Structure formats: C-alpha cells, structure tokens
Amino acid sequence: MRAMIGAAVIAAAAMPAGATAQTVTLEQLARRIDALERENAELKAEVGRLAGTSPQPGAPAAPAEPSAAPPAMTAAVSPALPLPGARDPWEGPYVGIHVGLAGTRYRIEADPPRQLSPDGMTYGGQFGWRWQNGALVTGLELEVSAPNGQDGTFPFSTTFDTTLHGRIKGQLGVAHGPLLLYATGGLQVSRVHILDPGGAGISQSGFLYGVGAAARLGSRVALELEAVQADLGLIPNVAAVSNRSRTLNLRLNYQLP
C-alpha cells in the first residue's frame, strides 16, 4: 500500500504546474487509505480479542488450533456364550461299576439281645442321572450289588445270608469345579436266605442314608467314594431278628453323551 502511495506522489511531482487539482486529489486518496488501514488493524484486534488472543497490529495471525480428536470408540464386549451342546460338569446321565466292603448286622431282639456282624466284599453296578444348577447338584440313581461273606449262624443252627442289594437313591450335593460332595437317601431291597433246614429266600426292604464324594478324572470319568447304611427292620417270618446293612464302595462312573 505504501509503495502505491509513493508511486503516486512521484508521478504528481513530475506533472506540470497546471495539474495542481490532480495532486490534491491524490493526497486525499492517501489519507483515506491510511484511515482504512487503521480501521483494518482495529478490526483484527477486535477479532483476536473475541477469539481469546490479542495479536499486535501487523503481526501474523496465529495458526488455528487443531480440533480435538473425537473420543476413541470402545467396542462393547459381549459375554462369552456357551458352546452349542455344552453343559455343566456334573449334568447328565452316567453308568458305572463299584467294589467295596460290606457288612451285615443280624440282631435277636431278646433279653439279653444277641447279634452277629459278618463282614465281606461287595461288587456291582449303577446307573443314574444328575442335574446341576450352579453349585447345586441333584440326582437319582439305581444300584444293584452282590455282597458276599454276609452269612451268620445263631444258636439252634439258624443261619442267615444276605446275597443281593437293590437300591433306589436320591442325591443332593454341592459342586466346586471337578469336585462334588453329596448326601444320599432312598429305599433298599435285600434278598436274605435262611439256611436252616426248610429255609427259603426272603425279601426285605427299608430306608437307606449315606454320604459320598466324587472327583473328575477327565471330561467324562469320575471316581467316587460312598458310604451307605440301610435299616431293614425285622426279617419276615423270623421271630424277632432284625437286619441292618452297611457298605463302603469305591465307584467308577462314566458320563454318557
């Protein structure tokens, strides 16, 4: 702008004396340009004040601050869904075998009472189904076992021998991962043979109760230890002889698909 004004003044000086009116006009134009420059500087100062900065007249405008980057989007993580067909560790049907210790107590309810307590081994199998809801496990099981060495003889040559147990058991337990602790109860039916002359086999039934513990050895195999006692009451057709059985079984179960 100043260069233009200087050029105009030089041109006016080079003009002849008759051009005085034109020179006056150029001076007025220069004054007008100075006024416009002052107004422009004032406007820049006002804009800077409104924007939070006050640049000096003639100073270059500060570069605009880059806009803040938008907040990073966080992907929502959905909880892992169970795989198709997946189930709790103790859920489902199973089949297994067992072996253990068996004992029977025959007791004559007399005064004084007399009793025999033969002990032996037992073996058999079981089939059951368990349901799991969180840590709570319930179940239903059918067990058949054949105890041996359960024969005892009272005076007067009366011999008793228990040869078969059939059990229907319910289960209620608490699971912690691969471990399970449970209580069991139900009904037992036993076959008792009376071995004196003219004797026969007699069926007896009564209630059973017990406890068990189980541990998984793999995805489908579990090893269990279970103690059960059954009170069978008086032996039918025999005067005042009661029968009680007890077993301690080591069980190996395989969970079916």
The answer to whether residue 151 scores a pLDDT higher than 50 is yes
- The pLDDT tens digits of the residues spanning 5-50 come to 455 444 444 555 444 445 557 778 888 888 888 888 888 888 878 8
The more confidently predicted of residues 95 and 78 is 95
Q: Scanning the structure block, which residue is given the tokens 């004040």? A: 49
| pTM for the full predicted model | 0.64
- The pLDDT tens digits of the residues spanning 84-126 come to 445 688 999 999 999 999 999 988 877 777 888 899 999 999 9
Of the candidates 193, 253, 189, 192, the one whose C-alpha atom is nearest the C-alpha of residue 226 is 253
pLDDT band (50, 70, 90) for residue 81: very low
The more confidently predicted of residues 114 and 190 is 190
The answer to whether residue 183 scores a pLDDT higher than 80 is yes
The answer to whether residue 206 scores a pLDDT higher than 60 is yes
Burial call 206-229: b when 16+ CB within 10 Å, e when fewer:
bebebebebebeeeeebebebbbb
What would the two tokens of residue 152 be? 């005892």
Amino acid (one-letter) located at 159: T
What is residue 84's predicted lDDT score, i.e. its pLDDT?
44
Question: How many residues are given for the chain?
Answer: 257
pLDDT band (50, 70, 90) for residue 172: very high
What is residue 19's predicted lDDT score, i.e. its pLDDT?
46
- The pLDDT tens digits of the residues spanning 209-249 come to 999 999 999 989 999 999 999 999 888 777 678 889 999 99
Q: Are 109 and 241 in contact (CB under 8 A)?
A: yes
Residues 6+ apart with CB under 8 A from 2: none
The more confidently predicted of residues 41 and 133 is 133
- The pLDDT tens digits of the residues spanning 53-73 come to 545 555 555 555 555 555 555
